[in-house]
Structure 1
Amino acid sequence: MTPLFDLAVIGSGVVGCAVFRESVLAGLDTLMIERAPDLLAGASKANSAILHTGFDSKPGSLEQRLIRAGHREYLAIHERLGLPLLKTGATLVAWNDQDLAQLDGIDAAARQNGVSLHRLDAEGVRRREPSLAPTACGGLVVDEESLIDPWSAPLAYAQQAVVNGGVFLRNSPVASGTYEDGAWTLRLEDRGEGEKTVRARVVVNCAGLQGDIVEAIARSSPFTIKPRKGQFIVYDKSAYGLISSVILPVPSPVTKGIVATRTVFGNLLVGPTAEPQDDRDVAALGRPQLESLKAAGERLLPSLARHDITATYAGLRPATEFSDYQIEALPDRGWITVGGIRSTGLSSALGIARHVRGLYEESFGRCRPLADPLWPRVPNLTEEFPRPGFQPDRDDIICHCESVTRAEIRAALSDSPLPAGCIGGLRRRTRCMMGRCQGFYCTRRVVELAAPYLPELATLGPGGAA
């Protein structure tokens, strides 16, 4: 007999992982279903790693309320899960008279959103960020903006769910579903192991870029995913000290614009672009766009021209035709929709999860929160705290650019409640192959260690050769 879960979460991006965690801690028997070999395979794997305050969100919108709630909860729980928080603040910079004219309105909206800003004149901007181009003519300071690890956060949420009884099902695309007698039967795509089904009283659609496709299982989707690509440039760690805060532009109605920010990994990041496209799966890099992005970064910070670019990447945001999040419960269908989260999901995920729990309790029944949940900690990957590779009794270093040890790689592959399911997952759990050489020197050794654990490497021979 197929077990009946209280809740099935479709999608294991940052929002799905947060909903998974919240549901398990609420006492619900919860399953999270992912079509890929590991979590964070879609939109959530590529972002700017900023914990936003929502100061520039539309006042009164659902997005604004949930960003604020998510920001507060991250501050409340991050230490117990071993998650970093680098309190840099942000400087929103005006570069011309048109930008300056918008600052009062941005300040007023931010205060309406519960975020206090303070104004800087041109001299104040130069004192705060002396490496900025001299054409900066004023700005606003957002003290509460911070930097976090964008991969360890969702991993920590999912890991806490698993150690407290949640079930994570990978490599399991949902093909269809039927709702009968108050429960869903979801049919999972046959991948050579025969047809499988799972059952749940309530389904939460957190499918991100596939959100409208999954929504069609329950109803004709009220929104259409319109992927928006963002490309990023990562500068070498020598550029880290050029700025002390997140450098924000005056936003437009379509995008927050190009940002320059440090990362918790010791790099400097410039991006993203905002490019609509039809493909939901592939975020291809484009040389003209990257060259334009590099030029934009150097206009902000002229001395960037003297620093090397070590990586480029691109991600897709699950935008819709609507400016706000698309979240609602369908009580007569046993369904909760979580769609259109766009670029703010990392900041709002915990707020969305708490909101989804409220919708569940309003429509489907009371929760019985766990009395004494376990709080596992994720390994530190940041420059903020000591890393195993810098300890006197360390194991062999496999990735020298990021000082990743053999023990860290093995732990991510086997000694974890949620071991890596693919090379991308291993990279996100350890930062191996993500440093200055981008795996040029360490890929062979990493593959040799990972091959016994990862099916995608099963066809490789000795030394990682096919």
Structure 2
Amino acid sequence: MPAVSPALPGTFDVVVIGAGVIGCAIARRFALEGARVAVIEKADDILDGASKANSAILHTGFDAPVGSLEQVCVAAGYAEYEEIHAKLNLPLIRCGALVIAWTEAEAALLPELIAQAEANGVADVEPLTEAETRRLEPGLGAGLQAAFRVPREYLVDPWSAPLAYLAQAIANGAELLRGAEVTGGQLDGDWTLQTTRGPVTGRIVVNAAGLYGDVLDERLLGKKDFAIRPRKGQFIVYDKPAASLASHILLPVPNKVTKGIVVCRTAFGNLLVGPTAEEQDDRETAALVPETLEALRRRGEEILPGLKAEEVTALYAGLRPATETKDYRITAHSAQRMITVGGIRSTGLSSALGTARHVLRLAEAMGHATQPPVDPVWPEVPAISAFARRDWQQPGNGGIVCHCESVTRREILAALDGPLKAQTLAGLKRRTRVTMGRCQGFYCSAELARLTEGRLAQPMLGHD
């Protein structure tokens, strides 16, 4: 039989499977250490799995299990994001969070949570009485008992961050293969991974497949150490005027299953309420449930009664790759030269950079060694945060196409070009915010269809 042409030529030092926030951060870390890196993603665009829907909070890890791998990775990821965000042109909205007790039982748990935060190195939390809390957030609803403030919980852009991580990896030599599902592989000195677009060869494989992490372990190792139990989270997004109702991230007292329902502004000037925490078997579909969304809306209005007068802009849902235990499931399979990064739940955005450093250490223990570049490239991603100077404020932008989110023609065309160009409408949305505003694309979709014609792997509907 004739040989099958490789999907990517040559042998890579590291092959990362999965282009969510964790895979993008891992690819960046190895590229910055001088490794030849390949990233394989089964979807037509990056961030198409668990990473496409989250609360967009940079967590300190104050409530992580003390001494857990999650806590270590969150703390390290938080510190590195603070260090590098400006160089990559990423936003950081320093608003702080309030952990609010709404019942006497929850209030009784606050001292224990404060002690946990201090044990996790978050020593600047501030206990607050009911009156002190209301002075900080006068719009809070009835029933408030007490709270504490976590000053260093911040808001970030959930999509520009992983985009920047992968853009930096590619700028420093990494290669990306999209639309390629890994169907199997053989280890014979090096790995030969079989994908739907041809084989890819690498010395070390990193499984960052998120919702399919256990499936991929079975395909490559013939076994799995954990089982993914998808947990759906539904969100409500309010129109931009609602953002004036709260200046802090409003957190509930967490329980053993979930961090609970959050109310907070977004980096894009909206206000969101969510997520829910619903167990399901389906790994692909995160269906919106009207009854659940109505209950979520009622809870949001109990927390911030002013929301009753505000309009909802969007509803969305996502899946988190939870497992049967709460901690991260990161395992080095040294004999097989493979590292599995599984069970990265709701803190993945915060921990990604720290998780990447942990994975690098595991690879070095397997004998991985490369020489970091002397002068690594630091690309900047476009600013799409409401807290940044936007392209519509710059000359020569071609005019605004999406007026709800102030997205220019130049921004759209730039996102459709280059090594990380958008391949789907969803990918274009995450890069620019186009169609994600109040009208949800009603006014700009026809022009957007013209601009994207022939450029997307999944074309928009006709625009005649």
Separation in 2 of the partners of 1:137 and 1:392? 51
Alignment of 1:41-190 (within 5 A): 41-116=48-123, 117-180=125-188, 182-189=189-196
Is 1:10 aligned to 2:20, yes or no? no
What is the SS of the residue equivalent to 2:191?
strand
Letter in 2 for 1:306: A
Return the offset for 1:444. 1.2
**Structural mapping, 1:346-361, within 5 Å:** 346-361=349-364
Structure 1 distance, partners of 2:312, 2:160, is 24
Measured in 2, the distance between the counterparts of 1:231 and 1:408 equals 29
Q: CA RMSD, aligned part only?
A: 1.1
**What is the TM-score when the length of structure 1 is the normalising length?**
0.96
Counterpart in 1 of 2:420? 418
Q: Aligned letter for 1:411?
A: A
Give the deviation of 1:441 after TM superposition.
0.9
Q: What secondary structure is seen at the aligned counterpart in 1 of 2:221?
A: coil
Give the letter for the 1:73 counterpart.
E
Helix, strand or coil for the counterpart of 1:203?
strand
User: How far does residue 106 in structure 1 lie from its aligned partner after superposition?
Assistant: 0.1
Give the partner amino acid of 1:439.
Answer: G
1:268-347 counterparts in 2 under 5 A? 268-347=271-350
CA shift, 1:392, in A, is 5.5
The offset of 1:394, in angstroms, is 3.7
- For residues 380 and 75 of structure 1, the distance between their equivalents in structure 2, rounded to whole angstroms, comes to 17
AA matched with 1:127: R
Unpaired runs of 5+ residues, structure 1, are 191-195
After alignment, is 438-447 or 106-115 more displaced?
A: 438-447
Please give the alpha-carbon distance, in whole angstroms, between the structure 2 residues aligned to 1:253 and 1:230.
16
SS at match of 2:45: coil
Structure 1 CA distance for aligned equivalents of residues 82 and 229 of structure 2: 32
* Runs of 4+ off more than 4 Å: none
Alignment of 1:230-241 (within 5 A): 230-241=233-244
CA distance in 2, matches of 1:227, 1:175: 21
Comparing 378-387 with 363-372, which one deviates more in the overlay?
363-372
1:366 equivalent among 355, 366, 369: 369
**Secondary structure of residue in 2 paired with 1:81:** coil
Counterpart amino acid of residue 16 in structure 2: V
Gaps spanning 5+ residues in structure 2: where?
Answer: 1-5
Aligned pairs, how many? 455
Find 2:435's aligned residue among 410, 433, 436.
433
Query: Percent same amino acid at aligned positions?
Result: 52
Show CA shifts across 1:413-441 (max 9, x none): 01x33111111100000000000011111
Q: Offset at 1:326?
A: 0.7
SS at match of 2:176: strand
Q: Write the letter of the residue equivalent to 1:120.
A: L
Paired residues of 2:397 and 2:409 also in contact (CA < 8 A): no
**CA offsets per residue over residues 15-45 of structure 1, 9 Å max, x none?**
0000000011111110000001110000000
Q: 2:388 aligns with which of 385, 389, 394?
A: 385
User: SS at the partner of 1:176?
Assistant: strand
Shift of 1:390: 3.0
CA distance in 1, matches of 2:227, 2:367: 27
Measured in 2, the distance between the counterparts of 1:273 and 1:222 equals 27
- Partner of 1:207 in structure 2? 209
Q: Over residues 235-276 of structure 1, what are the superposed CA-to-partner deviations in whole Å (9 max), with x where a residue is unaligned?
A: 000101100100000001000000000001000000000000
**Structure 1 Cα separation of the partners of residues 331 and 143 of structure 2:** 46
CA distance in 2, matches of 1:83, 1:69: 18
Amino acid at match of 2:17: I
Deviations 1:121-161 (A, max 9, x none): 00001001000013212101000100000000000000000
* Secondary structure of residue in 2 paired with 1:332: helix
1:456 shift after superposition:
1.7
**Does 1:407 find its partner at 2:410?**
yes
Q: Measure, in 2, the Cα distance between the counterparts of 1:321 and 1:369.
A: 38
In structure 2, distance between residues paired with 1:324 and 1:339: 10
CA contact (8 A) 1:361 1:367 kept: no
> How many Å apart are 1:280 and its aligned residue?
0.4
Aligned to 1:193: none
